[in-house]
Every structure is written in C-alpha cells, then in structure tokens.
Structure 1
C-alpha cells in the first residue's frame, strides 16, 4: 500500500492529501469539543455545521497558499512543519471568528484544544509517511563507520542521515572523553573496538572525518585501517566545503597524497610574490599538469597580467575558464591572456614577449612521457631542446627579467631520450646564463607529481574499478612523488632565489616502491590482492617489464656537489656545463640531424653531450624502424 502511494502521480498525491485534510479538520473540531465537554455526545446545530464548512474551506485555501500541497511528504523538513503549524493557527482563528459571527455558541477554550487536535491529525500522517520512507531508503543504504566524532564528523553524520547511499552506523574516535557516549543517536567507540564492530555488523566502509589532522598522522591511520580490508573513504576538507567546491556528504576515495605525501612546509610569501606580484607573467605549457597549477598559483599572487601559452586548444580553453572563475571568486581582477602557439616558433614567442612586455617566464612546455618520446625521438628533441632554446633566445631579445625551466629527475644520468633532452635543455640555459646577464636563467628539477597526466595513480584506480589486473612494470621499480600544488609552489620559490644558471633540486622525500603503492590502493578499496598465496583474492598485480628507456629508480643529482638554500625543501646543485660556443655548435649539429630526420645521429649527439646519457638497447623510434623494413 505504501509503495502504491509513493509511486502515484503528483496530482494523485495532492488529491489524496487534500481529501484527507477535508476529512480530518471536522474530526479535529469534533474531538476538541468532545474533550472540552468530557463526552462524545455533542449536540449539533446548523450554525455549527456552517462554522465547520467555513473553517474547512479557509483552512484548505491557507494550506494551498502556504505550499503544503506542493511539498513532497517524504522530504518534508522542519520548515514545512512550521508552515503546517501556521496553517492550523489560521484554521483555529477562522473557527473562533466564525463561531462568534454566526454564532455557533462553542466554548472559547475548545478553539485552543482544536489547534492541538488538528496538528495531531494533520501532522502525524505526514510524519509517519516521512519516517516510513526514510526507513525504507535506509534499509537499502550501506552502513558506514565515521572515524572522527568532532565537528566535521558530526556534520557528516547529519548530512548522511538524509542520504540514500550511505547510513552512518557509529563513530570511532581516539578521544577517551567521547568514547562510550552517544552523538545524534550514534555510539562512539574506541579504535580498539573496530575489529569486533566489523565482525558483528559486517560494515565494509569507513569514512574519515579528521579535520586538520597532519598528513603524517593521516598516513599512519589509513595504513592501519587498510589492514582490516575496509574500503577507506574521506569527507571533503573544510576549506573545500567553505569555498563551495564540495558538499559535506560528498564522500570520496582517499587521496593517495594521504599515503605518499608529507606535511608541507609553509610557503614563504615573499618568495612566492618576488617574481610574480605586480609583474607580467607568462607560462608555457599552461594547459599541462604542472603548467596549469603554476597558472593557479601565479594568479593568486596577483600579477599585473597572466599570459597563458599553450599548443593544445582545448587545454588552453579549459585552464582559461578555470582561472576566470578563480579571478571572480577571489575578486583578483587579473587580466588573463590566452595565446595559442608553439614554443618552437621563436619569432612568434619574441613578438608575444615584446608586445606584452613579459617580465617572468615559467617554461613548463615539454614532452614528458618517456615511452612516447622514445618512439618519437625527433619531435621529442625538437620540443624539449629547441623549444627551450628558442623560448630562451626570445626572452633575451625581448628583455625578459627571469626565465625558469621546469626540469625533471629523469635528466640525471638519463637512460631515455626524454631525460637526455631535458638535460640538454638545462645545458642550453646554463650556457646562455654565462653568455649574457640581462635575463636571469634558472632551472628546477623534481620527480613525479601525483595526479599528473600519465601518473600511475589514476591508472591504478581505473584498473581496480575494472576488476584488475593492476599492471606494474617491475617489482623493484621505485619513484619519488610530490603533490602538484607543493611542486608548483616550490618551483616559484626556487625561481625567485635564482642568481643565474642555477640548478635547483626539490626535496622529494622518501622514494616509493610502485608495487607497494599498488597493494595499498587495493587494500584501501576494501579488496584483497590475488596471488599464489591468496588465489581467491580480488585484484591481481601483473608485472609487464620495463618500458623503453625506463629506469628502476630516478635520481635528483648528477654528483655530490649539492648545497642547501634558505628554503628547507630546496637545494642547489653545481653541475658540469658547456661554454656557449660549444653548446651552439652542438645545437647546430643536432638541428641538422633533426631536419634530415637522422634519428641515429640525434641519439649519437645526445650521447656526445655532457648529459651522462646511458642508452638502453635499440632505439624504438616508430618511423626509423618502419623505414628499415
């Protein structure tokens, strides 16, 4: 019966509600008089019938005006019940007025009694239906435990109480003062009770509501929870909720940053602003993972103008739209100029730099995907080496004050063309820094960033959702990881410290074994690894072999000649470099080899350069090998 009522059309539901109210109002009036007289034998008159009719008509009109028949009963809130109380108040006033004017000669106290009988008869069915629907929906929703009984946890419990997806079952909290208490009907347990709780109630998900807990504490807690084969979710951060980016009930998978990250050192405002605030800033590769974050960070420092240079039209459009929203949100009023173009067009670059009087350039444009560059050697070298050279020459010609190259740890003793080309780009800037002093050149070297295009993290997530297997190239492969915002902030701060020709190296923390990362992500999804020891597991890890040019581990320094800086996460390396004539000669020969598409000559010249390039096996360039057939 209840399902028929809930699935009926809106017009049918309104008719049923109206019919019930037309019936219930006279009954409430009768009960009020019966309670007043102490008997159910009420002597009626024509005046009383007229009073009832007037009260029913005016009450239903008031209910219509108050929107009570537009409200969906199952979702009625306290506001709707306030409107109901107001409507019943109007009804009682109508009853009192009609009985006086007709006159119906009823006791005045019966009007007060009528208010309560009417509220009981009209409100109770609505509450009953809402309660039944809530229970039906909650029976289908999944029970979750909330870790953290603080303000964020309480707000999350309240939000999930009206959710059809999750049902808060209990709190877990480390604070002994909160344990064994009850908050909003949910009992607070100690973390020591978690295993028993899971066995008894078959809960498979836990949602973290940890407030401002440090990343290190979150990391330890998440790893401990993952041992229970629980799917670990997290509530949105307080800043995201305040800014409107997320709602409290939008629980999501745990950010892998919580497992791999470390507590960030607060950025120094003076270094962030040094090369940006009040200046005209241009960012190449503005639509890429690092480039787009550099754009966001630069915008917040309020440059005079922010110029985005990007080859990919959609990527440029997407970051421009996002930055315009940030501009409005924070009322920054920074002019944002989007330029479509390639860093391989020196005349175009020089024209842009001169026209807008660019003062600071962050050069993030590059091909960074190792196997892709291995298969497309000439284009990789053209973009990474010559794109950097042409951009740097254009900056010198246009009088740019500061030029910061975004480099990579793969430039250190590279085993692939991508790394060798980035080391070659570093050598070009080092030589240009010695050739002139008007434009200050420096470069910032760091490892993998979480969530970038090509990162293993989104790939692993996708593979887990598809039921596996997770593909890892080698059981011993390790990588350094850093969040994109932290890396971008450190790039800006390092660039501000440059004195000319500097190679800055970011502190990437501890390296991570990729296979361990895969195993953690499986456990965090509430699943188990399928292996010889556990053939009934959910997700298999498959080793596919190292890709062309891939190393087991990456380094950040070529030699041991490293010094600290005024920033604890930024170091500077003193490394070998060439004079400009030597560099220029090498570039000219490299240009000729690229122009004639002599891939093997390009490889030979990269090996000749002081880049410590250690070529692995045969060159897998697609065009070169197709031409040999």
Structure 2
C-alpha cells in the first residue's frame, strides 16, 4: 500500500506536486503553532481567538520565503545538503520576522515564547519531512521497485577507488551494489558507505543465490599477477567482470560509472609489462632528430607517442595513409607542443622521396615500422607483401646509410622465425637485408627487434573476439591448439627504442615474453568474464559457440622467437640478443637481385621457390593463393611478361658497398 501511494505521488504532474507541497507546509506551520502553545500551557490545545493570528502569520511569512529560496523547485527524492542549507536560510529569516512580531512587539493572548519556539519547530519539521521524502521516494521505494530489475553487482576492492565507484553508482542508479569484496581480513564484516565488506569466499557461496551478475574490479594499483589470480578465481562463477582504468587515468578526477571498461587482456595473461631502462630510452632520442616510418600504424604510432615523451629535437612522421598521418600528427601536437613534429606523406618504396626527406633533416635514428602484417592478406597478395616488407626495408636502409643515419632499427616479428607464410618470410628477408648491410663498413648501426602478437593492434584477435561475443557468437578459431606470445603496444614500442640503444650492428633482439597462450583458452576466458558461458559438447545450452574453421594459408600453430639457441643476455633483464645466421653479403645481394626479377614478372610460384632457397626452414603453403594468379589460372589465361625496357627492374645497378640498388620505378606507392 505504501509503495502504491508513492507510485501515485511520483506520477502526479509537476504543478500538482508543488501545490501538494505548499498545502503540507501550510499545515505544518499551523501544527507547529499548536505544538508551541501546548508546550507553553502544558496541555494539548488548539489556538483560540487572537491566537489564530500566530498560525495565520506563520503561513503568510513561511510560504513566500520557502518559494523564494527554491524549496518547491527541488526534487524531494534527490534532496541533499544544498536543500538542507536552503531550508536553514529560509527558516532563519522566518524566525527573525516571527520573533520580532510575536516576541518583541507581542500579541495579546499569544505567549512571547511562541515567537521563539515556532521557528525551531518549523525548521525541524520542514527539514525532517524533506529527508523522509528522500528516503521514502528516493530510497525505500526506488529500491523496492528496482531491486529486481537492476543488475546486482559487487565491487571487488574496498579502497578509495571502490568507495568512489559505489558513490557514483548510488547517484546513477544503474546498478545495485550488494557487497564489497576485499582480501583484507581485518575489513571483513565492516561496512563502507552502508554496504558490508565480505571475503572472496562469500561471493562464491552467494553469487547464484543473490542473483549477482557483475563484478566491478576497483583495484587500479594492483599488480597484473594479482589481478590474474582474482580473475582465475572468478571464472567458474560466470560473472560479467569489468574494471576501472589505471591510477594514471583516475588522477584527473572523480570515478564515474562510464569509466568502467571490459577486463584488459593483459590482466588475463597475468604478466606485468617489462619495465624500461630509463637510460636506454633517452640515449638516442633526447635532443636528436628521429624518423619513424609507418608512423600511423599500431606500432609506429605508439613509437611516436613514446618518443615525444623523451624530448627529441624533431620527430619526422613518414606515413603513406593520409588519414592515419593526420590522426597521429594531431594527437602528438596536443601531447607535446614543445617538440617539432613534421608529418610527411611518403612510401618506403619511393627512393627519391625517402632520399629527399633524409637529406633535408639528417635524422640521427630511423625506426622502420612500415610493413604489411596481416598474414592472410599478404598470403593472398605475396608480390606486394615482399616488395613492401623486404625491398622497402632494403631501400630505406640503403638510403639511411647513404645519408649517414647513425642508427636504423627494424620492427620485426616472431613470424620471421622458420616462417610458414609470405608475411613472415618477407620480414625475415628484411632482417637479412639489414644483416647484409651490417657486414659492410658504414657509419650506420643496423638492428632488428622481434616480438610476438601485440595486444590491441589493428587486426588483433582480442577486439575480434569481443565483437563476436557482443554479437552473440560464434567465436571463430582456426585451430584448437594454436598458441601465441602476447605483449602490450607500449611495451613493444619501448622495447624497440631500448634495443636500438643497445645495438652494435646486425643484432636481433627478442623479449622474454613468458609462456605462450593457447588462443582457445583466451577465448574461453573472455566469454566467461563477459558473464556468458561457452557452448560445447559438455554444455550444449551455453551462450557462445567456439567454432573451429581450420588453419588459414601460411598460418602456424606455434610461434618462435629464435632461429637458433644462441641467445645472450643484455643489460636489460628481459631482453635477449641473438646473431642469426646470414649468408655473405655478395651471395645475399645476388639472391636479392634474382628476387627482384621474379617480383617484376609477378611469378608467384617462382617467388615461393626463391624464398625457400633464400630462407632455410621456410615451409611455404603448398598452394598458390595469390588472387591474381588464381583468377588467371581459373580462366586459363596466359600470363604475359612485360618486356618494356622502362619496366621496373631491380637488378643491374649496385651501390658502392655491393648491395643492389632498388630501382625507383619498381617501388611505386
């Protein structure tokens, strides 16, 4: 009955609510006078004769003041400290006027104490009624109505972030907080903001019974390892787990509900990022000219973000895609307005443009991140993949050496180790090109950095899985046993910078990335932490299906980081260095010249054969899946070779060091 009455009151139009509030306040004024008279004469009584002037003047003075101070504009169920302050001010002015009238001047038959007692009673009654309305309409009623419809959540972490999050949820009324969960035993049984703090075991025992659907992690300063342990314990409960951002993201303001994000994949891996060595970061960046190719890509853009923090004198952004270059340039200018940032549209396959850029600014260090990296796409477009990733790298490195760039650092991949696909083979060729140039005397120090899959990069598996989960599945996997190494984008960028600082020439740097992760286990964790269940033979009624589609052309089950076993420790505890095998420079350039001729005539079968000759351990996909080749083959078309003397030929011309000069016409953007 009480709830039905509250529902009817809330359903009234706004003018009707204000009129009702005015009538109630007028009645309260009369009752306060009656009570003041009863206190004075020590018996219950109503005003008599001229005593009604005390009740009438209380109404005539109080209601206009309450209107002026906005007491009828406030929404009672959200009334808080500002509303109490407004009531106090209005009652203070009322008390002053009322006391002057009935205490100082006086009215016959009205005791002078009434002029003092009525204002006090009125303040307590008006304030009390507002708080009662807030509790009834905004608390008890809303909780009773919405308790079943709102998501039932617990906050994991009873610290400052958890308290702020609970306050934000109380204001938004989007979720109902049932408990805090915390590991600290001395907090168990206590209350925080009216909510009890419970041990983790309480959640395991009561989650299903109480209908808890979400866990909100409010532990922004906890280590990755501890977060991984907590997530592992939560997996069997099939709750939707979300988290607050890191402390750095919370430092600029109060926690809001919209700050909650899905659990980072880094938390699932349980590996803390490799801490950078500060001296190595600054060594070849501060007050120097730095050039980044592929500056708009996932790795290239993060490299630029890390570099501008280290105060270079100039940062040259070389990028082929106009929008990507625009986006990273705008972002960096906001980040570091004191650094001169120069956006340059260019292709790494355009020697004239690269030479023009490097001769103009004479960079001290070049970070070469420009590459095609999507395995299936490069497998279906092999000639372009090798031209861009391999010959583009060779060309950029040659021009860097010609322009006396001191350091040239290649961003490579673990797929370059015993590659089974064109992308990996093209990156291994890029490494060989730098190893070959490192054999020649020059003032440029060449080095390579290999790492595994980068979390959050374009084409990464994790965003794909999240989209598939949100769509209701299925999650598509190429193989049940496929494994990968993972690292964060900032970690990868810092590694590239530090490796370049440690290089002595021809070095291949790799990161100790811990244990590889089974992709199917990763998918299961993402499903379970989204509050859903996996549908398989043991759980046919699950929410999300894991569908195996089969390995794609050139895809490996397992990735490696080293070709040999000759890894050596460096000054960084988690970075290793290896000298991978490389043929003599003369033989290598002969092979590159032959490769260029094959690319010129777009002969994909010959390209695969040449890669197998150049890369011991290369195990190419048996079939040619180049789209052009397949289309021509299906139509029984005859492949024609362009014998135009102006056609793009790589062979013939060589640099003074004996390495082949890549023809400019062959490298059109």
Q: TM-score, normalised by structure 1?
A: 0.91
Worse overlay, 392-401 or 214-223: 392-401
Question: Are residues 1:624 and 2:633 paired?
Answer: no
Larger Rg: 1 or 2?
A: 2
Q: Is the 8 A contact 2:76 2:133 kept in 1?
A: no
Between the aligned partners of 1:29 and 1:553, the Cα distance in structure 2 is 86
Unaligned stretches of 5+ residues in structure 1? none
The residue that corresponds to 1:95 in the other structure is: 98
Question: Are residues 1:419 and 2:427 paired?
Answer: no
The residue that corresponds to 1:62 in the other structure is: 68
Q: Is the 8 A contact 1:25 1:118 kept in 2?
A: no
Question: Are residues 1:271 and 2:280 paired?
Answer: yes
Between the aligned partners of 2:98 and 2:32, the Cα distance in structure 1 is 12
Q: Is the 8 A contact 2:483 2:558 kept in 1?
A: yes
The residue that corresponds to 1:575 in the other structure is: 580
Residue 171 of structure 1 aligns to a residue in which SS? strand
1:417 deviation in Å? 0.6
The residue that corresponds to 2:213 in the other structure is: 204
1:582-593 residue pairs with structure 2 within 5 A? 582-593=587-598
Shift in CA distance, 341/81, structure 1 to aligned 2, threshold 3 Å:
farther
Q: Is the 8 A contact 2:168 2:256 kept in 1?
A: no
Between the aligned partners of 1:602 and 1:614, the Cα distance in structure 2 is 13
1:513 deviation in Å? 1.2
Shift in CA distance, 548/9, structure 1 to aligned 2, threshold 3 Å:
farther
Residue 178 of structure 2 aligns to a residue in which SS? strand
The residue that corresponds to 2:555 in the other structure is: 550
Question: Are residues 1:109 and 2:116 paired?
Answer: yes
Between the aligned partners of 1:317 and 1:73, the Cα distance in structure 2 is 51
* Superposed CA offset, 1:179-202 (max 9, x none): 233333322222233332124312
Worse overlay, 84-93 or 405-414: 84-93
Q: Is the 8 A contact 2:281 2:501 kept in 1?
A: yes
Counterpart selection for 1:372 from 355, 377, 386: 377
Between the aligned partners of 1:188 and 1:426, the Cα distance in structure 2 is 56
1:31 deviation in Å? 4.6
* Superposed CA offset, 1:307-349 (max 9, x none): 322222222233233333433xxxx622333222222222222
1:267 deviation in Å? 1.4
Q: Is the 8 A contact 1:241 1:248 kept in 2?
A: no
The residue that corresponds to 1:255 in the other structure is: 264
Q: Is the 8 A contact 2:285 2:307 kept in 1?
A: yes
Q: Is the 8 A contact 1:261 1:481 kept in 2?
A: no
Worse overlay, 262-271 or 613-622: 262-271
Residue 582 of structure 1 aligns to a residue in which SS? helix
Question: Are residues 1:468 and 2:473 paired?
Answer: yes
1:229-628 residue pairs with structure 2 within 5 A? 229-243=238-252, 247=256, 250-327=259-336, 333-610=338-615, 612-628=617-633
Between the aligned partners of 1:167 and 1:448, the Cα distance in structure 2 is 38
The residue that corresponds to 1:220 in the other structure is: 229
Residue 187 of structure 2 aligns to a residue in which SS? coil
Shift in CA distance, 179/120, structure 1 to aligned 2, threshold 3 Å:
closer
Between the aligned partners of 2:626 and 2:391, the Cα distance in structure 1 is 19
Worse overlay, 552-561 or 306-315: 306-315
* Superposed CA offset, 1:191-240 (max 9, x none): 23333212431223222233433212221221121022223222333222
Q: Is the 8 A contact 1:236 1:247 kept in 2?
A: no
Counterpart selection for 2:173 from 160, 164, 178: 164
Q: Is the 8 A contact 1:235 1:248 kept in 2?
A: no
Between the aligned partners of 1:335 and 1:579, the Cα distance in structure 2 is 41
* Superposed CA offset, 1:259-303 (max 9, x none): 114123421111111121222222222222211221221122222
Shift in CA distance, 109/23, structure 1 to aligned 2, threshold 3 Å:
closer
Residue 281 of structure 1 aligns to a residue in which SS? strand
Residue 510 of structure 1 aligns to a residue in which SS? coil
Shift in CA distance, 77/347, structure 1 to aligned 2, threshold 3 Å:
farther
How many residues are aligned here?
Answer: 622
Q: Is the 8 A contact 1:84 1:123 kept in 2?
A: no
Shift in CA distance, 184/53, structure 1 to aligned 2, threshold 3 Å:
closer
Worse overlay, 41-50 or 467-476: 41-50
Shift in CA distance, 98/267, structure 1 to aligned 2, threshold 3 Å:
farther
Between the aligned partners of 2:602 and 2:192, the Cα distance in structure 1 is 71
1:467 deviation in Å? 1.9
Shift in CA distance, 334/30, structure 1 to aligned 2, threshold 3 Å:
farther
Worse overlay, 189-198 or 466-475: 189-198
Worse overlay, 434-443 or 99-108: 99-108
1:131 deviation in Å? 2.5
Between the aligned partners of 2:310 and 2:105, the Cα distance in structure 1 is 75
Worse overlay, 487-496 or 432-441: 432-441
Shift in CA distance, 411/175, structure 1 to aligned 2, threshold 3 Å:
same
1:80 deviation in Å? 3.2
Shift in CA distance, 102/318, structure 1 to aligned 2, threshold 3 Å:
farther
Q: Is the 8 A contact 1:182 1:188 kept in 2?
A: yes
Residue 168 of structure 1 aligns to a residue in which SS? strand
1:127 deviation in Å? 4.8
Between the aligned partners of 1:245 and 1:298, the Cα distance in structure 2 is 30
The residue that corresponds to 1:131 in the other structure is: 139
Between the aligned partners of 1:216 and 1:126, the Cα distance in structure 2 is 44
Shift in CA distance, 77/492, structure 1 to aligned 2, threshold 3 Å:
farther
Between the aligned partners of 2:348 and 2:517, the Cα distance in structure 1 is 34
Between the aligned partners of 2:290 and 2:303, the Cα distance in structure 1 is 11
Worse overlay, 527-536 or 586-595: 586-595
Between the aligned partners of 1:37 and 1:333, the Cα distance in structure 2 is 80
Between the aligned partners of 2:307 and 2:509, the Cα distance in structure 1 is 19
Q: Is the 8 A contact 2:155 2:217 kept in 1?
A: yes
Shift in CA distance, 244/441, structure 1 to aligned 2, threshold 3 Å:
farther
Shift in CA distance, 433/102, structure 1 to aligned 2, threshold 3 Å:
farther
1:129 deviation in Å? 2.9
Between the aligned partners of 1:25 and 1:313, the Cα distance in structure 2 is 72
